[in-house]
Amino acid sequence: MKKKNILNQNFNIFKNFGYLSFIQIFNLIFPLILYPYIIRIIGAENYGEILYVQSIAIYLSLVVNFGFNIYGTNEISKGDTSEDISKIISNIFTCQIIFYCITLLILILIGCISQMEIMFFFLASYLCLNEIMIPVWYFQGKENMKYIAICSFISKLTALIFIFILVNDSTDNLYILLSYAIGSIVCGMFALFKIFKIDKNKIHIPKYEDIKKVLIDSFPLFVSHSLGGLTLKSNALFIGALIGKKELAYYDLAEKLVNLLSIFFQNFSNAIFPNVAKTKNQKLTRTALKIALISSVFIIIITNIISEDLITIIGGIDMLPSIEILYLISFTLIFRAVGPIISTSIMVVNNLGNKLGTSFVFGSIVYFSGILILYLCNEFTVPYLIYNLTISLAFVVIFRIYYCIKNGLSKWII
């Protein structure tokens, strides 16, 4: 019976890993499919403007997320009754709606003081809305990842259809954001139908004390998630603001390819997290870390062998400057492979989630100190920005490993 339970657990992990991989691969392949079409229609410069606005919205989406993808997953997976789960859902959604309204106002304000059209910033808020419309934390906590896959597919397919219909010349770049926004809304309608109609969860009016508790408990995860996000997302913002929109388009293509490759590791971590949260399986985390490390090195080697063909097929010869960027940024895969496993399946599971913020604080200090040095030394170039990012990611992972060992969790790693 025990052996059968272990086999069932492993099958569930494999199944959920497969669903998560499909989701993220589709999410990243989707813009790569559109790349040749969009670049040909609106050009790298105009597309760089869209990427710049999106990079700002991505910053603010971290606020709407507020670490709920980890906190919510943990709480839903431990929910004993449907009443408990309904309260968790209502509390989190209430917090996210409030945060979305705040971020929308901030985006509109930025649009008012910028030289770009306000509607760009308004429509870019779909990235913040996605945090509500695709409740990853709910489906992941239920270990029912296929619905995340369905939501993601609906959103992207809807956007794809509208982009091909609406975007026909260089003046239609605004319609790209509109298409994404429509996809987000359609996806959200499906997700909410599943949660409240099919799963029969009820909407509760949250109490002030409950909201306060949710925010306090999730705040350390918000700090760690947002600081990690700031480090990963800031290069795009700096390139678009200080180097050039065309250079941002080159960087974005390389970054999307690396993000696609990193999906294996993020989903691997997400798939084992609910299981480890229940079973405290040390051997599983050790094995997962070894797989992630070895696989990341292998993927880096293969990527750099086929980089020129990869860039040419996806972006065309006009995007060949992305090759050097892809080579440099691919080395971040090592730290993006092992980092999520350490943070969730080891630190969060062992009630050290509040310490994750510390590693990200120091990592952000390293990153932004590097930014300041590059700016003062007049060496603000794309390659140096990538070096700076890699160093900061390495620092975060090393700091976490040190902290785990210091707190007696070495058996979870080695």
143 and 43 within one domain: yes
In this structure, is residue 257 part of a structural domain? Answer: yes
In this structure, is residue 379 part of a structural domain? Answer: yes
Q: DSSP secondary structure string, 73-123?
A: HHHHHH--SHHHHHHHHHHHHHHHHHHHHHHHHHHHHHHHHSSS-HHHHHH
93 and 37 within one domain: yes
Of 157, 188, 206, at which residue does a domain stop? 206
307 and 185 within one domain: no
In this structure, is residue 328 part of a structural domain? Answer: yes
pTM over 0.75: no
Average pLDDT, the chain: 84
- What pLDDT does residue 360 have? 78
- What pLDDT does residue 126 have? 92
State yes or no: pLDDT of 146 exceeds 80: no
CB 141, CB 270: distance < 8 Å = no
How confident is residue 94, by pLDDT bands cut at 50, 70 and 90? very high
137 and 69 within one domain: yes
The string of pLDDT tens digits covering residues 152-201 is 888 888 988 999 899 888 888 889 999 999 999 998 899 889 888 888 88
CA-to-CA distance for 51 and 237, rounded, in angstroms? 9
- What pLDDT does residue 182 have? 94
317 vs 163, higher pLDDT: 163
In this structure, is residue 220 part of a structural domain? Answer: no
In this structure, is residue 281 part of a structural domain? Answer: yes
247 and 197 within one domain: no
Q: Mean pLDDT over residues 235-260, rounded? A: 86
How confident is residue 332, by pLDDT bands cut at 50, 70 and 90? very high
- What pLDDT does residue 392 have? 92
351 and 288 within one domain: yes
293 and 183 within one domain: no
245 and 390 within one domain: yes
* Cα radius of gyration (the chain): 21
Counted domains in the chain: 2
Range in 192-201, 214-223, 266-275 the model is least confident about: 266-275
Of 166, 190, 206, at which residue does a domain stop? 206
CA-to-CA distance for 22 and 16, rounded, in angstroms? 10
In this structure, is residue 12 part of a structural domain? Answer: no
Q: Under DSSP, is residue 167 helix (H, G, I), strand (E, B) or coil?
A: coil
Residue span of the structural domain in which 399 resides = 238-414
In this structure, is residue 13 part of a structural domain? Answer: no
274 and 202 within one domain: no
CA-to-CA distance for 247 and 370, rounded, in angstroms? 20
